[in-house]
């Protein structure tokens, strides 16, 4: 077990113990919005406070909310029952060298935006609340979490980020047990994660009654898929980041999966992006496909490097069915 991630985890424990007492009232951030009379969502830090929000719609997030998250909250508000959003930057899904400490945080801003979109309550637990066993044991629990085949067989996020899905499944499992919703919503931008969560929930008798609902990818005007990490991209590097979007676009001209994959890789390389993967797969199993006679999904992951920084970006699109 890598000591660096445990050190970061302990640091988050210490920060969580004091940050809640320093938080500004939501009224201090209302100038982010034109509606001065927007409702303030209740902020809850412990699972005991969630009793009044059982049976509604739940949206797990790591905060740094953007229009993609807010579109899910607005969709959730159309369902029966309360809307609950969690904000928790989950340390067990980050590997050493990833951006756990750099991940953007801002509960006051996020709560105000969520409230305006129709969220009734924010669940913002501490690391100690979610992982009472302590950092080392939590990381071990994430590594030992039983994963469905779609989390270990495709060679996509599971290969690029081997620790990722154990941490994701562990935290989502615990959040769902705390929240006890009728349904939970996840964005399609993290396509493999969506399939993993759907499979995990379906296989657990205690969770299988929860409906997992997808929300479409929301894009900036230039086409880049919205992500909390986009705020770190310098303006001078934005066009290179769009290589991911353009790669998915050109792939639609292909009439065979291997051709589409070659076209995506060539586009990513032309934008000087470090390729994680650029593939066409079955949309549910995420295993390789032979042709486009059935629904398929193109998926891309790449790292944008610049002087002084880097960011890893992912995206995906449904491919045309050719019959």
pLDDT in tens, 63-93: 889 899 999 999 999 999 999 999 998 878 7
Domain boundaries, the chain: 3-215, 228-318
Question: Does residue 121 have a pLDDT over 90?
Answer: yes
**pTM listed for this prediction:** 0.88
Higher pLDDT, 86 or 94: 86
Distance CA 309, CA 122 (A): 32
Distance CA 119, CA 50 (A): 14
Distance CA 151, CA 156 (A): 9
Which CATH code fits 3-215? 3.40.50.620
pLDDT band at 6 (very low <50, low <70, confident <90, very high): low
Identify the pLDDT of residue 95. 55
Closest CA to 99 of 229, 209, 273, 249: 229
pLDDT in tens, 246-260: 999 999 999 999 999
Q: Residue 2 catalytic?
A: no
Range in 120-124, 158-162, 220-224 with the lowest mean pLDDT: 158-162
Question: Does residue 23 have a pLDDT over 60?
Answer: no
Higher pLDDT, 161 or 298: 298
To 10 degrees, the CA torsion angle through 93, 96, 102, 103?
-10
Range in 23-32, 148-157, 171-180 with the lowest mean pLDDT: 23-32
Identify the pLDDT of residue 228. 83
Identify the pLDDT of residue 224. 97
pLDDT in tens, 28-66: 433 333 344 567 899 999 999 999 999 999 999 988 898
Identify the pLDDT of residue 36. 44
pLDDT band at 102 (very low <50, low <70, confident <90, very high): low
Identify the pLDDT of residue 216. 96
Question: Does residue 185 have a pLDDT over 50?
Answer: yes
Give the SS3 label for residue 101.
coil
Question: What fold is seen in the domain 228-318?
Answer: 3.30.1300
228-318: same fold as 3-215?
Answer: no
Helix residue spans in the chain (DSSP H): 3-19, 67-76, 107-117, 127-130, 135-144, 157-160, 164-179, 191-203, 238-241, 243-251, 257-270
The residue-averaged pLDDT of 141-170 equals 95
Among residues 33, 46, 66, 69, the one annotated as catalytic is: 69
The residue-averaged pLDDT of 21-34 equals 38
Question: Does residue 217 have a pLDDT over 70?
Answer: yes
CA 25, chain centre distance (Å): 27
CA 263, chain centre distance (Å): 27
Range in 53-57, 136-140, 178-182, 206-210 with the lowest mean pLDDT: 136-140
């Amino acid at each position: 077990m890598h000591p660096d991630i445990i050190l970061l985890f302990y640091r988050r424990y210490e920060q969580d113990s004091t940050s809640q007492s320093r938080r500004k009232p939501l009224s201090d951030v209302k100038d982010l919005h034109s509606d001065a009379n927007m409702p303030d969502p209740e902020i809850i830090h412990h699972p005991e406070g969630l009793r009044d929000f059982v049976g509604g719609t739940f949206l797990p997030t790591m905060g740094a909310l953007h229009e993609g998250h807010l579109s899910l909250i607005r969709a959730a508000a159309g369902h029966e029952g309360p809307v609950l959003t969690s904000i928790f930057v989950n340390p067990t899904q980050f590997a050493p060298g990833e951006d756990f400490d750099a991940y953007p945080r801002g509960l006051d801003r996020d709560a105000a935006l969520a409230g305006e979109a129709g969220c009734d309550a924010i669940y913002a637990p501490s690391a100690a609340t979610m992982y009472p066993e302590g950092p080392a044991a939590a990381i071990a629990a994430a590594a030992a979490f039983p994963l469905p085949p779609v989390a270990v067989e495709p060679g996509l996020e599971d290969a690029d980020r081997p620790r990722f899905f154990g941490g994701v499944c562990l935290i989502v499992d615990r959040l769902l047990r705390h929240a006890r919703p009728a349904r939970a919503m996840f964005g399609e931008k993290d396509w493999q994660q969506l399939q993993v969560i759907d499979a995990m929930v379906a296989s657990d008798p205690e969770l299988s009654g929860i409906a997992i609902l997808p929300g479409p990818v929301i894009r900036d005007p230039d086409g880049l898929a919205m992500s909390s990490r986009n705020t770190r991209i310098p303006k001078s590097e934005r066009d290179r980041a769009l290589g991911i979007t353009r790669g998915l676009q050109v792939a639609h001209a292909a009439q065979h999966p291997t051709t589409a994959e070659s076209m995506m890789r060539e586009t990513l390389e032309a934008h000087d992006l470090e390729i994680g993967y650029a593939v066409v797969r079955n949309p549910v199993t995420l295993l390789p496909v032979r042709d486009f006679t059935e629904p398929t999904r193109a998926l891309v992951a790449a790292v944008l490097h610049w002087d002084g920084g880097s960011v890893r970006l992912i995206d995906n699109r449904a491919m045309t069915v050719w019959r």
